[in-house]
Amino acid sequence: MTTTRFAPSPTGRLHVGNIRTALHNWIYARKAGGRFLLRIDDTDAERSEERYVEAIRADLDWLGLNPDAEMRQSERFELYQNRFNLLRLSDRIYPAYESAQELDLKRKIQLGRGLPPVYDRAALSLTDADRARFKAEGIQPHWRFKLDHDAPIEWDDAVRGPQRFDPATMSDPVIRRADGTWLYMLPSVIDDIDMGVTQVVRGEDHVSNTALQIQMFQALGAEVPRFAHAALLTGNEGKLSKRLGSLGVDHFREIGIEPQAVRALLARIGTSDPVEPVADMAPLIAGFDFSRFGRAPARFDEAELAQLNARILHQTPYIMVADRLPAGMGEAEWEAVRPNLSTVAEAADWWQVIEGPVDAPEPAEDDRAYLARAAQVAETIDWATDPWHALTAALKDATGRKGKTLFLPLRLALTGRAQGPDMAALLPLIGRDRTVARLNG
């Protein structure tokens, strides 16, 4: 079965880049009829916080990206230790004793000589006596995974195409610190194996990690999953933006963005498919294909998201928003005002226009008699069918006005605004009594 996973660290809130990764994994699993798993990567006990775990769950729920199961790395340390022991027995990991300062000095020397800063594997030359001496001095080792230099690391990436890395140009990665805590690389591989992950979908900043992890899958005798590395998001200014790291669900909710708009934008930006106001996930799932993803960075534009949000609202049925509308506002009112909304919260402003009172501007001198005449006509027309067109037709015949001079004074008096929803839809909701009162000033 196709299985994907989203693996955030609970050291902060999800941002728009994380959300896009979660969405890609969710969509891919749903299209394949597979499973989408949430894995909380909380091996860093000092920085991980339970409030962020809860926030991650809440954010995914708001986005409609509910996982089929959840795991936590902090509950799987025994599994990691068992696999660690196996790798020791097969000589694929080894202890190293250099301090951070010593490693930094080595890198500077290599760079100064025009060489790549690759770990020199000095720890492999240590004798049992050397290791005993370090132990007697209280120096604990960190542990490195020993890369196999005999063959290139290759895979066919679903987004980037054929990839090839020479392991001899890469440092043996540190997988465990001297204090016994785990780094990201090995536990992630062990979990992917144990969880049956078949497709790893993540950002292109993980490409070099993938090269290292492929050898870890192989060293553990596991089938290597397929990989897809999407290009990273950039800000509107055309470069990686710190602001993107602060844009998350809380921000989107605060400015009135609907989850449907977030999904519709993030599912399509960076692909050859057009971004469309799609509220239903079905077409996004059906059209999802990594071959449509481009290699260029994907530009995230808040203005585009806001426009998309408005277009989605304009086709959103009343039942989807009823619990967020002002008390008393029904389906007719929603359908009348939604073409003018950018956010659901703006519906309250138009509900106030319907219910009143309305703060209308003082009419121009030559409009006073016209509005008084309009009030008289409003009392006599048939309100059961189309009162707006009945009112304006009668006023056009009686006054000779047309165009802006016919319509604008009425709209201003009735709504207090020069623009807004179609008055043919709005006037029946305002009703005869309120219309007459507002026209009379």
Could you report the per-residue pLDDT of 324-350, keeping only the tens digit for each? 999 999 999 999 999 999 999 999 999
Mean pLDDT score of the chain, rounded to an integer?
95
> For residue range 6-42, what is the model confidence (pLDDT) as tens digits?
999 999 999 999 999 999 999 999 999 999 999 999 9
Q: DSSP of 45-79, one letter per residue?
A: TTT--HHHHHHHHHHHHHHT---SEEEEGGG-HHH
Please count the residues of the chain.
441
Q: DSSP of 377-418, one letter per residue?
A: HHHHS--SS-HHHHHHHHHHHHH---THHHHHHHHHHHHSSS
Question: 161 phi and psi, to 5 degrees?
Answer: 80, -160
Mean pLDDT along residues 303-318:
97
Residue 101 has pLDDT above 90, yes or no: yes
pLDDT at 158: 97
Known binding residue 396? Answer is no
Buried b (16+ CB within 10 A) or exposed e, 39-70: bbbbbbeeebeeebbebbbebbeebebebeee
Instruction: Provide the token pair at 218.
Output: 């192989």
pLDDT at 239: 61
pLDDT at 241: 64
Buried b (16+ CB within 10 A) or exposed e, 96-108: bbbeeeebeebbe
Cβ atoms 347, 341 nearer than 8 A: yes
Residue 123 has pLDDT above 80, yes or no: yes
Q: DSSP of 293-349, one letter per residue?
A: B-SSPEEP-HHHHHHHHHHHHTT--GGGTGGGSPTT--HHHHHHHGGG-SSGGGHHH
Cβ atoms 344, 256 nearer than 8 A: yes
> For residue range 189-241, what is the model confidence (pLDDT) as tens digits?
999 999 999 999 999 999 999 999 999 999 999 999 999 999 999 987 766 56
Cα 432 to Cα 409: distance, rounded to the nearest angstrom = 17
Cβ atoms 258, 309 nearer than 8 A: yes
Percent of the chain with pLDDT over 70: 99
Return the number of other C-beta atoms located less than 10 Å from residue 38's C-beta.
23
> For residue range 38-94, what is the model confidence (pLDDT) as tens digits?
999 999 888 999 999 999 999 999 999 999 999 999 999 999 999 999 999 999 999
pLDDT at 5: 98
End-to-end CA distance of the chain: 69
Report the candidate in 192, 232, 194, 233 with the shortest Cα–Cα distance to residue 213: 192
Element (H, E) at 29: helix 16-31
Cβ atoms 316, 253 nearer than 8 A: no
> For residue range 348-379, what is the model confidence (pLDDT) as tens digits?
999 999 999 999 999 999 999 999 999 999 99
pLDDT at 252: 96
Report the candidate in 164, 126, 168 with the shortest Cα–Cα distance to residue 147: 168
Q: List domains and CATH numbers for the chain.
A: 88-176 (3.90.800.10), 318-355 (no CATH), 365-439 (1.10.10.350)
Question: 234 phi and psi, to 5 degrees?
Answer: -120, 160
Instruction: Provide the token pair at 349.
Output: 């402003």
Mean pLDDT along residues 376-392:
96
Mean pLDDT along residues 160-182:
97
Report the candidate in 216, 297, 190, 315 with the shortest Cα–Cα distance to residue 261: 315
Report the candidate in 303, 313, 299 with the shortest Cα–Cα distance to residue 258: 313
Element (H, E) at 352: helix 347-355
Q: How many helices (H) and strands (E) does the chain have?
A: 18, 12
Helix (H, G, I), strand (E, B) or coil at 203: strand
Category of 305 on φ-ψ map: left (φ > 0), alpha (ψ -120 to 50) or beta: alpha
Mean pLDDT along residues 232-254:
82
pLDDT at 245: 77
